[in-house]
A and B are shown apart, each in its own frame.
Chain A
Amino acid sequence: MGRKKLKKKKKATGLTIYHYVACLVMAAVLAIFIHSFFPKYTATCANTLSCNEGPKLLVENDGYGIFNNKKVSAPKIDLTLEKYKSKVLGVNSKPNEKHIYVNLKTQTLYAYEGKNLFMKTFISSGKWFPTPTGEFTIWVKIRSTRMSGGSGDDYYDLPNVPYVMFFSNDKVPASAGFSLHGAYWHNNFGHPMSHGCVNMRTTDVAKLYEWATPISDGLTTHASGDNPGTKVTIYDGDSI
C-alpha cells in the first residue's frame, strides 16, 4: 500500500526536464512549419512599369525622360555607329573565364577574365529597392531600352537607357528585370541610387557591355548554350 502511494506521489510531482525538452522541440517544429507558409523574398520587378512588357530594344531619340519630377534629356543613340566599334581586348576569350563581381558595401564592380582584372569601377546599386544578392547569369543584352517605374515623386520614365545586361537566377527570375545598365540621369556613383538595378557610368558600361557575354550578335543578344552569359556575383561584403 505504501509503495503504491509512493508511485502515485511520483507521478504527481510535476514536469521533468524531458517534458520541457519535448515542448521546445515541438515548438521549434511548429514554428518552422508555420514559417514555411510565409512568403519568401520575392524579387518584384526592378522597374515596376516597364517590366510588364518585358525587355525590348527601344531607341527613342526624339523624346525626353521624367526623373525627380523633371524632364531629362536622354542621350541620342546612333545605331549606325555600332558596327564601327573596335573590339575590346580579350573579347574573344573563353566565356567561362569571365566573371563580374559587384560589392554592394563598397559600391564597386570588378570584372575579371580569369585572374586578370579587366575593370574596376564605382556603381550605384539599389537605394529605393534592394539589389538582390547571389550568383546570377546574364541572359540577354540589349543596346537600349526604356525603363519606367515608381510612383508620385519617385516616378521615373527614362528612354534610351544604354547598354542593358539583364541577369537572373532561380530565385530572381528574368521577369524581375534586374540588370546592369548605364545611367545618364545622375552622377553619384559609389553610392546607392537605383530602384534595384546596378547603375554604371555610360563610358564604363559601354566597355563592359562589349566585353561581357553573350557575345553581341546584333542590338539584342540572348544567351544560349553556344553563347552563354557571363556570371555576375552580387554580394554585400568587404572583399571578394
Chain B
Amino acid sequence: MMETRYNIALTKRHKFEMVVIIILATTLGLFGLIQKDKKVNERVSAVVPTVMPTDTVESSAMESPDGSKILTLKKQLTTKNRQKYSFYTSSTGDGERLIFYKELEKGGYISIPYNAWSPDNKYVFLKETTSTFNNYYVFLSSGNPISDNAQYVNIQELFSQKLPDYKIVDVTGWADPALIIVNTQPNEGGQNISYWYDVTGQSFIRLGTYFD
C-alpha cells in the first residue's frame, strides 16, 4: 500500500517536471524565434570617395546633385615642393569663379568630398587632410564671403572651440540645404555622436541618432 502511494506520488511529480520542462523550453524557443525576427541589420558606413590629387599637375571636379554646377580642383606642384590648390565653381555655360586658394607643404592635401555641394547648390565644403587632424571648409559657391569677417568657415576650428571634449571623425554631407552632418567621438572614448552644423546660425546641434 505504501509502495503504491509512493508510486502515485512519484508519477505526479514526474508529470509536474515534464510540464515545467515543456513550459520552459517553449518559452526559450519563442524567445529565440522573436529575437530572430528582430534581427538588426548592421550597416557599415560606406566609404565615401573623395577626389584624390596625384603628384602631378591635375584637375578634378564634382558636379552638384542636380548637375547644373561644377566644383573644380586644380592642383599644381611648385619647384619648392609645395602644392598649390585652386578651387573654382561654375555653372553650365558660365566661366569659372575662384572660391579658394591655398598652398600646402607636401604631406597634406585638400580634396572634394563626394557630397560637397549643398542640395540647393548654395554652399560647398572641402576637406583638408593633415597629419594631425582634418579641416572642413565651408564656402558660398558664389565665391562671396560667407560672413562679414570671413571667406569661409572652418568647422574643425569652430568645433574644437565649442565642443573640446569631442573630436570630429568625419563630415559626410548635407542633411538639408543648411545643415552639415558632423560625426564625432568623445576624446575619452564612448559612444559616437552626430551633430548638425547649421551654416546659417554657425551652431552645432546634437542629434539623438548617429548618422553612420
Q: Are B115 and A187 in contact (CB under 8 A)?
A: yes
Interface residues in B, total, Cβ within 8 A: 49
Q: How many A-B residue pairs have CB under 8 A?
A: 142
Query: Does B41 sit at the interface, judged by CB under 8 A?
Result: yes
18 A-B pairs, CB-CB below 8 angstroms?
A5-B3, A23-B18, A23-B21, A23-B25, A27-B26, A68-B179, A70-B178, A104-B43, A107-B46, A122-B46, A127-B209, A184-B65, A189-B114, A189-B173, A192-B212, A193-B175, A203-B67, A236-B41
- B113 CB to nearest A CB, Å: 10
The interface residues of chain B lying within 8 Å CB-to-CB of A72 are: 176-177
- Chain B window 18-54, contacts with chain A (Cβ cutoff 8 Å), 1 for yes, 0 for no: 1001111110111001100100010111111000000
| Bound complex: CA A38 to CA B17 (Å) | 28
**A23-B22, A104-B41 given; A189·B67 CB < 8 A:** no
Residues of the B chain whose Cβ atoms lie less than 8 Å from the Cβ of A107: 43, 46
Closest to B177 in A: A72
B29, B44, B119, B209: the one within 8 Å of A184 (CB): B119
Q: For the complex, what is the distance from the CA of A32 to the CA of B3, rounded to whole Å?
A: 41
A141: CB under 8 A from chain B?
no
Q: Distance in Å from the Cβ of A234 to the closest Cβ of chain B?
A: 11
Minimum distance in angstroms from A13 CB to a CB of chain B: 8
Q: How far is the CB of A18 from chain B (nearest CB, A)?
A: 11
In the A-B complex, the 8 residue pairs with the closest CB atoms: A31-B29, A27-B25, A188-B173, A107-B46, A190-B46, A203-B67, A23-B21, A187-B174
What's the least CB distance linking B81 to chain A, in Å?
Answer: 34
Residues of A within 8 A of B173 (CB): 186-191
Contact assessment for A191 and B45 in the assembled complex, using a CB-CB cutoff below 8 Å = yes
Minimal beta-carbon separation of B84 from chain A (angstroms): 28
Give which listed residue, B18, B25, B177, B212, contacts A19 with CB less than 8 A. B18
